[in-house]
Structure 1
Amino acid sequence: MYPLTRLRRLRQSKELRQLVRETSLSPSDFIAPLFVVHGEGIRQEICSMPGQYRLSVDNLVLECAELARLGVSGVMLFGIPEHKDATGSEAYDDHGGIVQQAIRAIKAALPELIVVADICMCEYTDHGHCGIIHGHEVANDETLEYLSRQAVSFARAGADMVAPSDMMDGRILNMRRALDEAGFSQMPIMSYAAKFASAFYGPFRDAADSAPSFGDRRAYQMDPANGREALREIEADIDEGADIVMVKPALPYLDVIKEASLRYDLPIAAYQVSGEYAMIKAAAANGWIDGDRIILESLLSIKRAGAKIIMTYFAAEAARLLHQG
């Protein structure tokens, strides 16, 4: 009781605050999403994501080297294909696939950097949806085969982890079986287990040229209103064999991250998505916020909620800020 209890006592100096701090950030908490394109010497800034680029493989390796130097744990790759078709065939092309080429180049240059390969069809299909289309419907069970082909192809190329983001029912079980049968029983799966149909993805669709040509993705991505259903999705993916489960986006769904971290023992990941990044960048550029402090505060909130792994476009920037102390 006041005046004996004075909570401000331990806030008087920087040193005291650091001593009793409950949550800490490290560059090793981060995975950096990167966009890779065909060609050479390409470093094309994404207009809706200032400071983020579409990179050819040669420049991608340089970017990865800088991230590794900063202590960032890994990268997640999104491929932008040369051509698109109804089945997203470049996604599972062992030799011509841009992500497969990028994986091989990164692992040759930086073998200790974790390379995660995002698995979905939206960047690779001519219709922009995350699966095989019949009429205007995504065929769930038929899509599973193509997602598993991607996983096996990325594993063959040398990926350290695969991360399915499609939200098809049953894809983790199907993918786990396919990987095991192909000799990759040790390949971890990080599932986008609770991926919401969010308006925060807009800049990503510019970056990856992945907007659907008709309709939207609300029939397979989650309703933002449903927290309990998110936990059902997470539990289903755990039961099917996921090694890590992810909540996406991060900041609008901190409640889901927290609840998942309390319920489940396996690692929880969170994706601070393109819209979260773009809003902070825009407000900082206009002088409305202290950008550096907001970057670290937003990432700290995700970690405090229970995420062990944070996918963030701020990975390099945040790592530099942490090194500066």
Structure 2
Amino acid sequence: MRRFRRLRQTPQMRSFVRENEVSVKDLIYPLFVIEGSNIKNEVPSMPNIYQYSLDRIDEELDKVVAAKIPAILLFGIPEHKDEKGSGAYDDNGITQQCVRHIKENYPGLIVIADVCLCEYTSHGHCGLVCEGHILNDETLPLLAKMAVSMAKAGADIVAPSDMMDGRVAALREALDEAGFIDTPILSYSAKFASGYYGPFRDAAGSAPHFGDRKSYQMDPANGREAMREIEDDLEEGADMIIVKPALAYLDIMKEARECFDVPFITYNVSGEYSMVKAAAANGWIDEKRIVLENMIAMKRAGADRIITYHALDVARFLEEEDV
């Protein structure tokens, strides 16, 4: 009889043989910057997550830096929205202003700029719209223009999340032509049309005003298709890959990790965050234990880094564990 329990007898022994660990270095924290002044709006469906105006965002950035979280993922919420999402590629747009502010005041922080039109369009879709149809090829030049604008502002990484076909190639070509050959592309390659995004759309003001996003985001039933999406984006020039959402798609992360030798990031999305927070608020679960268990599940599945709204909590939990 094998005695597996020999290696489980004490905390020290369990730590000694542990196969996977979560570190604060693994964390990427999403932030929402909103146009205006003196704004700190809590997102009702996401406890402890806020929209910050540029003059108040240091309140959160100071916490991120103090926690030694290495990177943030930035989403912008403009005051004006139009059918073409012009605020997305305005060099003086709210997101570009915020990127410059962060790089000037927090130069050690890695800034990942989300590249998508949905927060900037009056209709809430991720691409141009004509007679109710989301246009693919006509959207690509605007996404490319947005990526270049973010790189000019100082973004360390651009992350296309729109799910238009061919967008990675369009971004890579535009970035290279503009002289940003060293700016990496972190592609949301396996982004599923998930019900877990609801609270994010409250936070970013990006809910579509008609229809849904199922014609461009992936069908949750399809796993093999995700591998084709990832392969295509890598061939087009993606440097890193996102699988989104995280918890219901750990099988996708696991298979992708086995198929492709590139950095993988998973996005622990808003609905996953809010469910944990709601259950913890009701006393139904041990929040710290559940959050850390979720994080280790993502690492075990193969994620190199984790985008999560829990990031500040995780940093605190890990510090408590080390005491």
* TM-score tier after normalising by the smaller chain length: over 0.9
Runs of 5+ unmatched residues, structure 1: none
Read off the aligned partner of 2:232 and give its amino acid letter. A
Read off the aligned partner of 1:105 and give its amino acid letter. H
Equivalent pair of 2:156/2:184 in contact (CA under 8 Å)? yes
Counterpart position of 1:55: 52
Which deviates more from structure 2 when the two are superposed, residues 248-257 or residues 65-74?
Answer: 65-74
CA positional deviation for 1:78: 0.6
SS at match of 2:297: helix
Matches within 5 A, 1:137-286: 137-286=133-282
SS at match of 2:66: helix
**Aligned-partner Cα distance in 1 for 2:183–2:49:** 29
Read off the aligned partner of 1:118 and give its amino acid letter. D
Read off the aligned partner of 1:100 and give its amino acid letter. Q
SS at match of 1:192: strand
Asked if 1:27 corresponds to 2:24, the answer is yes
- Where in structure 1 do 4 or more consecutive aligned residues deviate above 3 Å? none
Matches within 5 A, 1:117-128: 117-128=113-124
CA positional deviation for 1:66: 1.4
**Aligned-partner Cα distance in 2 for 1:16–1:188:** 40
Of all paired residues, the percent bearing the same amino acid is: 58
SS at match of 1:58: coil
Equivalent pair of 1:196/1:248 in contact (CA under 8 Å)? yes
Read off the aligned partner of 2:224 and give its amino acid letter. R
Deviations 1:98-122 (A, max 9, x none): 1001101111111010000001011
CA positional deviation for 1:61: 2.5
**Aligned-partner Cα distance in 2 for 1:306–1:237:** 19
Asked if 1:104 corresponds to 2:97, the answer is no
Equivalent pair of 1:61/1:105 in contact (CA under 8 Å)? no
Read off the aligned partner of 1:92 and give its amino acid letter. Y
Counterpart position of 2:43: 46
Read off the aligned partner of 1:61 and give its amino acid letter. D
**Aligned-partner Cα distance in 1 for 2:104–2:154:** 10
Counterpart position of 2:284: 288
TM-score normalized with structure 1 length: 0.98
Read off the aligned partner of 2:81 and give its amino acid letter. K
**Aligned-partner Cα distance in 2 for 1:203–1:18:** 36
**Aligned-partner Cα distance in 2 for 1:323–1:220:** 40
**Aligned-partner Cα distance in 1 for 2:56–2:312:** 15
Q: How many residues align?
A: 321
SS at match of 1:87: coil
Counterpart position of 1:87: 84
CA positional deviation for 1:59: 2.2
